Structure 1
Amino acid sequence: MAGDFVPGRPLRNLAMAVAGVFGYAVLLLMQYCVLAHTTTKYWLRKWRHRIEHASINAATGYASVVVIKERTHELADKPRNVGLLFLEEKIDLEVVAKVILWCLALGVESVSAYDINGTLLNKLDTLKEITRNTLVDARYKKSAVEFVVARPEGEDDGRREGGQKEFTGVPVYVVTPIDGKGGLVAAFRKICDDCKLGIIDEKDITQEMLDKYIKGKTTSSFNKSEYSGMPEPQLAMRFGGWGSVLGYPAWHINYSEILDLGSHRNVLLSEFIEILEKYNKIEKRFGK
């Protein structure tokens, strides 16, 4: 076969080896060029925001709340439910609390927060304390948000605040990578149980039926929302993880508009507002 090592033909073998190394080097160079272009574009945009919107980005606490309300009150289409996808290895909880405050100032009905390593869940008590302090600094009550550990039905770990009761504040659902796998396991387990009980016939199992079980929308006894009422976000703000959601339950963002904000550690208020303005202008795909 062409390109294989041929005994007794050292020059040909050497040429093929050189060609292989050269081709690999070209691919690496192309990757570095794309990375350099993306990085340069990102930092140019970042500095443009810092220079052109210096007064906006200087706002903190209550001042940031005022800025958000002033800059977004004329937007015709604002997301009611927002998803925050932190797809970076290290998570800055103070930044997470700040972004939650910004969402609260926007007037959202719920927030879902996700990270790839489960840091938000593992450090939930710390996040709660930081968020409460952030809220107080912005002249909100400590109870303005209520954290909920999102779990598939039947997998409540005891750390849920609120459960099925009415929320006293805006619910912030903490989602982990386990939830995506747990939802699939729960769906398949329920399908097996319903087959044994004669509720459904195994011959009737289709992709559509599987989707309904995954989303918790069947006519069988599995009729509760997988995340106990957690709404699907209209807007998912992605921090890092370009082009991927890295473990976030994919069936829970079927109709979400996913917009990128780069690294969360240096996110600017003007970038947050710009994303909302972009969301307001785009034609919603609704799963298309």
Structure 2
Amino acid sequence: MSEQSISINLVLGLLWTITHLAIGFLHLWSHLFYNLECYLISFGLLRKYHNLHLGGLKYLAIVVDSKEAKSTANINQLFCWLSTMGVKYVCFYDIEGVMKESFEHAMNSSRDRNEKEYFGIGANMKDLHCTKRAMVIDCLSGSDGKEGIAKAANLLCSAYFNGDSHGDGKREPAFTEADMASALKAVGFGGPEPDLLLMYGPARCHLGFPAWRLQYTEIIHMGPLKSMKYGAIVKALYNFSNKYQNYGK
């Protein structure tokens, strides 16, 4: 190789290294600033976060990795925080149904198939002594998504084959989004669409949460459940309350 080629490679390598260092530094600074802001919010030192206006948050979804969903103390703390913030309706989802099974055994009162009014999650959990308000919790698992779509598809197919269109003049089925939404509702798997979804876990995805309920949902990744912060939840709810969404037709 010529001296000129070697010099060019060295310069390009140096620029590449400097770029990566700059990006890494900005990422580290952003992470430190975010954590500092969360701690200041938790201690009530940032005035703008004192009053949350949650009128637009009618339904909140929480997605948690199933391994972390087994940490009952963290889940109890999370529900406690949400209750004190004034959240009224929460949909909790983990793909293996860890919390769904716990609620079915621990809660005596139910509002619907899996909807529970929360005042604590059983005597085996640590009492956190927080100020709790009435909060309805709907527990879902991965089976709700698969079972729901299968039952809805079966209903649509049954309606098609048993309808007036059978016989020689039978048309090809053309199911619309509205048809599927109506079928899901008819088989009991429709459910309200969350306004905001908070994801806890290593993956930046909804882990199989029923996709038909996420058309206009704001999705925020919150990091691991074990490192959850009160200030981070307040910040997420505050940012959501200050957003304006345009819904197309």
* Common fold: TM-score over 0.5: yes
1:269 corresponds to: 230
How far off is 1:72 after superposition?
2.9
1:80 corresponds to: 58
Q: 1:200 to 1:265 in 2, by over 3 A?
A: farther
Instruction: Determine what percentage of the aligned residue pairs are the same residue.
Output: 17
Q: 1:99 to 1:41 in 2, by over 3 A?
A: farther
TM normalised by structure 2 equals 0.67
Pair 1:138-2:106 in alignment: no
Pair 1:177-2:142 in alignment: yes
Residue 44 of structure 1, aligned match among 26, 32, 35 = 32
Instruction: Choose between structure 1 and 2 for higher RCO, CA contacts under 8 A separated by at least 6 residues.
Output: 2
RMSD: 3.8
| Contact residue 193 and residue 217 of structure 2 kept, 8 A | yes
Mind listing any 5+ residue stretches in structure 1 that lack a counterpart?
A: 1-31, 58-66, 145-169
How far off is 1:262 after superposition?
1.1
Cα distance in structure 1, aligned partners of 2:146 and 2:227 = 31
Cα distance in structure 1, aligned partners of 2:139 and 2:26 = 30
Cα distance in structure 2, aligned partners of 1:199 and 1:94 = 56
Pairing of 1:89-128 with structure 2 (within 5 A):
89-91=67-69, 92-124=71-103, 125=105, 128=121
How far off is 1:226 after superposition?
3.0
State the SS of the aligned residue for 1:84. strand
**Range 192-201 or range 90-99, more displaced:** 192-201
Residue 236 of structure 1, aligned match among 197, 202, 223 = 197
Q: 1:242 to 1:212 in 2, by over 3 A?
A: same
How far off is 1:40 after superposition?
4.4
Q: 1:178 to 1:103 in 2, by over 3 A?
A: same
Cα distance in structure 1, aligned partners of 2:224 and 2:29 = 14
Q: 1:78 to 1:99 in 2, by over 3 A?
A: farther
| Contact residue 255 and residue 287 of structure 1 kept, 8 A | no
Q: Residue deviations 1:99-139, cap 9 Å, x none?
A: 2223223333311000122211233346821698657x224
| Contact residue 82 and residue 110 of structure 1 kept, 8 A | yes
Residue 227 of structure 1, aligned match among 167, 189, 195 = 189
Q: 1:109 to 1:83 in 2, by over 3 A?
A: same
Pair 1:260-2:221 in alignment: yes
Aligned length: 210
Pair 1:214-2:180 in alignment: yes
Q: 1:283 to 1:93 in 2, by over 3 A?
A: same
Pair 1:190-2:183 in alignment: no
Mind listing any 5+ residue stretches in structure 2 that lack a counterpart?
A: 1-19, 107-119
| Contact residue 85 and residue 115 of structure 1 kept, 8 A | yes
Cα distance in structure 2, aligned partners of 1:76 and 1:115 = 25
| Contact residue 101 and residue 134 of structure 1 kept, 8 A | no
Residue 282 of structure 1 aligns with an amino acid whose one-letter code is K
Residue 205 of structure 1 aligns with an amino acid whose one-letter code is P
2:7 corresponds to: none
Residue 80 of structure 2 aligns with an amino acid whose one-letter code is L
| Contact residue 180 and residue 247 of structure 1 kept, 8 A | yes
